[in-house]
Amino acid sequence: MYNFKIATDDKAELYRQVTEAADALTRGEPDAIANMANVAALLFESLPGLNWAGFYRNVGGELVLGPFQGRAACIRIPFGKGVCGAAAATREVQCVADVHAFPGHIACDSASASELVVPIVHDGALIGVLDLDSPAKARFDDADVIGCVELVRRIAARLASVEKAAIEG
Ligand code: SME
């Protein structure tokens, strides 16, 4: 049983603890889907004010829905479309204070108001994106960006293994 007790009002400390927990959860496990599933659950439980937390995977140049927590979501997102597609196409973090003002935003859950999407890159390849949604406008700030980028950097290799194995046949 995993029982991480993550509770602090200090955002930097919160991300430090969440990143340690994500590292511990994925250490030694080669299956990327299993790792994404546990990290999505960890983030959804640990970060306050989210209505969706999960992954889209780069499958042949298209984003395909991966493990997540929250309401059922759109399955395929072309690179360049919406917030996730923008992150995939540019490989740059997208921190959107008001998704309804974002051109091409894909409304999977009408309750979503702000969104943070972090590209996952390993060995020069885009593995997919981490997507966090909130029903509050401007839920995500620089501390969230820094925290999520560091978390993704720490575990990127463990989110890549299934895709690599599939590509290598
Ligand atoms: N709103 C996203 C789509 C994914 S869902 O939020 C889970 C976007 O515009 O990329």
Query: For 102-133, what is each residue's pLDDT tens digit?
Result: 998 888 888 999 999 999 999 999 999 999 99
CA of 82 to the centre of ligand 1 (A): 7
User: Is the pLDDT score of 162 beyond 80?
Assistant: no
CB atoms within 10 A of CB 15: 23
| Phi-psi domain of 49 (left: phi exceeds 0; alpha: psi -120 through 50; beta: other) | left
CATH class of 32-168: alpha beta
Domain parsing of the chain, residue ranges: 32-168
- The predicted-structure confidence for 5-22, as pLDDT tens digits, reads as follows 777 889 999 999 999 999
Pocket test for ligand 1, best of 131, 132, 134 (most atoms within 8 A of CB): 131
Residues 34, 18: contact at Cβ < 8 Å?
A: no
* 77 CA: nearest ligand 1 atom: 10
Largest Cα–Cα separation, the chain: 46
What global pTM score does this model have?
A: 0.93
CA of 144 to the centre of ligand 1 (A): 18
Residue with tokens 């999505």: 40
3-state DSSP call for residue 108?
coil
